């Protein structure tokens, strides 16, 4: 049986990647714990009268309903509960704050259900909320696909390619630690006006990365998570929290969780700038070349000598996938990381990417197998368009590493804040 920790918390089956305790601490409640429960533990756990209020996640948003003596009107209409509050008589009352969070997420992405032909992927608890709000907010049509296929399963996708204008992913497909997967290929949908994903880890799922690549408006799940937590905390304590708290907490959560990724030509100064950034921000720096050496058990020149560039790049891509799963670190890449397109999505999924720029004549060749004796101008001609395509920002390394690091940090902090402008002022949400 799961042991009692604090009166407030989150119940679910697997919660290893949850950041809900940090959000609730920022909302003024540090007494918030994660409770991983198996289905047969649910009833006995909820009977513990020391528990005062709980959030509910996968797979229990529907399962908790029989344990509620009362549901608020929205939770009852939706048929899904993500917030439980102990009443004075000891019973549970169920609320749905996912609806509020969903509407905040939609607005943050400048998306609407109004008159859209909506395709929802998944039919669990959060999907029930999405379906109900889509109807309440005026969707033209609503289709739900899931594995069980109550009405349609994923084999039926081609039937909806032409009509669909908005897709919502309400499944865990694409979530860490199994990032990089998507249930749909967005190129098959010619009339999309937007997509959104309830997943918040990584910041950008493969589903959202494809939307960005195709120029389709999109919204990710961190806004929904922070906003629903804000409303849940209001129910927990019978208080009102200004909506600008969503922006304050969301921007900090994003800034703390997202990686700073440095790319650029070999010898452009990525490592020295990474060192300066580490000192400035107290973030851990991860040198991908050093991780390659660890993984291979040999130095990079030896890898090239034994396996050639293709062998090296294969190991590099493995390391990129592994290390991109980190949160809130500095990733210093090798100069050739851009030569394999498969590296782009992992780096982008949870990273803001900076290209370090330096004149070709000033690039160091020491200890770089591909730089020694190479025509760096020819190398740059091939790689510069790739760096530009991957980078979110270019930084000139024409002063000190400390100056470049400070410029990166200023830009990164401004970027993180800019993602939350929709909720900067109380009363917006």
Q: What is the CATH number of the domain that holds 149?
A: 3.40.50.720
63 and 113 both lie in a single domain: no
pLDDT of residue 135: 96
88 and 107 both lie in a single domain: no
Asked if the structure places residue 318 within a domain, the reply is yes
298 and 194 both lie in a single domain: no
How confident is the model over 272-326, as pLDDT tens digits? 999 999 999 999 999 999 999 999 999 998 999 999 999 999 999 999 999 999 9
59 and 110 both lie in a single domain: no
292 and 409 both lie in a single domain: yes
- Confirm whether 159 is a catalytic residue: no
Asked if the structure places residue 1 within a domain, the reply is no
145 and 56 both lie in a single domain: no
36 and 165 both lie in a single domain: no
The number of C-alpha atoms within 13 Å of 203 and in the hemisphere containing its C-beta is 25
pLDDT of residue 265: 94
pLDDT of residue 84: 98
Q: What is the CATH number of the domain that holds 56?
A: 3.40.50.10860
Asked if the structure places residue 423 within a domain, the reply is no
DSSP calls for 12-61 = ES--TT--HHHHHHHTT---EEEEE--GGGHHHHHT-TT--EEEE-TT-T
Q: How far, in Å, are 16, 17, 173, 221, 281 from residue 218 at the CA level?
A: 26, 23, 17, 10, 30
177, 206, 238: which is the final residue of a domain? 238
Peptide bond into 59 cis (omega under 30): yes
Average per-residue pLDDT for the chain: 93
How confident is the model over 177-236, as pLDDT tens digits? 778 899 999 999 999 999 999 999 899 999 999 999 999 999 999 999 999 999 999 999
404 and 278 both lie in a single domain: yes
78 and 138 both lie in a single domain: no
Report the DSSP beta bridge partners of residue 166.
Answer: 118, 194
Confidence band, pLDDT 50/70/90 cuts, at residue 424:
low
Range with the poorest average pLDDT among 74-78, 245-249, 308-312, 359-363: 359-363
Checking if the pLDDT of 57 tops 50, the result is yes
Structure-block tokens of residue 145: 């696909």
Give the total number of structural domains in the chain.
3
Radius of gyration, alpha carbons of the chain:
24
206, 238, 270: which is the final residue of a domain? 238
Checking if the pLDDT of 370 tops 80, the result is no
Asked if the structure places residue 244 within a domain, the reply is no
Check: CB of residue 152 under 8 Å from CB of residue 143.
Answer: yes
Asked if the structure places residue 113 within a domain, the reply is yes
Asked if the structure places residue 81 within a domain, the reply is yes
304 and 410 both lie in a single domain: yes
219 and 232 both lie in a single domain: no
How confident is the model over 142-190, as pLDDT tens digits? 999 998 877 899 999 999 999 999 999 999 999 887 788 999 999 999 9
Please give the residue range of the domain that contains residue 166. Answer: 103-224
Asked if the structure places residue 2 within a domain, the reply is no
Asked if the structure places residue 424 within a domain, the reply is no
231 and 220 both lie in a single domain: no
Structure-block tokens of residue 22: 């940090």
Catalytic residue, from 61, 93, 230, 270: name it. Answer: 61
Q: What is the CATH number of the domain that holds 328?
A: 3.40.50.300
pLDDT of residue 361: 81
Confidence (pTM): 0.88
186, 211, 238: which is the final residue of a domain? 238
Closest CA to 264 of 406, 391, 404: 391
Check: CB of residue 310 under 8 Å from CB of residue 317.
Answer: no
């Amino acid at each position: 049986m799961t042991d009692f920790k604090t009166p407030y918390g989150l119940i679910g089956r697997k919660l290893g990647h949850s950041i809900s305790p940090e959000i609730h601490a920022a909302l003024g409640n540090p007494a918030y714990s994660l409770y991983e429960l198996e289905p047969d533990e649910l009833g006995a756990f909820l009977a513990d009268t020391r528990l005062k209020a709980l959030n509910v996640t996968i797979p229990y948003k529907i399962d908790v309903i029989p344990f509620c003596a009362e549901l608020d009107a929205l939770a009852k209409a939706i048929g899904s509960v993500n917030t439980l509050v102990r009443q004075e008589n000891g019973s549970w009352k169920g609320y749905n704050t996912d609806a509020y969070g969903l509407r905040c997420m939609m607005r943050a992405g400048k998306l609407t259900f109004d008159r859209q032909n909506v395709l929802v992927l998944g039919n669990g608890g959060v999907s029930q909320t999405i379906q109900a709000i889509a109807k309440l907010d005026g969707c033209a049509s609503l289709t739900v696909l899931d594995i069980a296929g109550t009405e349609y399963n994923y084999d039926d996708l081609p039937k909806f390619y032409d009509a669909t204008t908005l897709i919502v992913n309400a499944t865990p497909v694409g979530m860490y630690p199994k990032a990089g997967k998507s249930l749909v290929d967005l190129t098959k949908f010619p009339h999309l006006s937007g997509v959104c994903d309830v997943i918040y880890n990584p910041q950008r799922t493969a589903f959202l990365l494809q939307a960005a690549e195709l120029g389709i408006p999109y919204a990710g799940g961190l806004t929904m998570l922070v906003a629903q937590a804000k409303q849940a905390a209001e129910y927990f304590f019978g208080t009102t929290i200004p909506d600008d708290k969503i922006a304050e907490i969301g921007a900090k959560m994003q800034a703390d969780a997202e990686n700073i990724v440095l790319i650029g030509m070999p010898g452009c100064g990525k490592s020295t700038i990474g060192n300066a950034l580490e000192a400035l921000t107290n973030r851990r720096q991860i040198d991908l070349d050093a991780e390659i050496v660890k993984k291979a058990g040999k130095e990079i020149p030896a890898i090239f000598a034994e396996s050639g560039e293709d062998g090296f790049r294969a190991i590099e891509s493995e390391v990129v996938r592994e290390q991109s799963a980190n949160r809130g670190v500095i990733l210093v890449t090798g100069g050739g990381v851009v030569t394999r397109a498969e590296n782009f999505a992992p780096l982008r999924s949870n990273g803001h990417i900076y290209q370090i720029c330096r004149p070709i004549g000033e690039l160091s060749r020491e200890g770089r197998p591909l730089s020694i004796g190479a025509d760096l101008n020819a190398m740059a001609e091939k790689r510069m368009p790739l760096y530009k395509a991957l980078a979110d920002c270019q930084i000139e390394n024409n002063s000190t590493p400390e100056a470049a690091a400070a410029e990166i940090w200023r830009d990164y902090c401004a970027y993180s804040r800019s993602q939350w402008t929709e909720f900067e002022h109380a009363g917006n949400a």
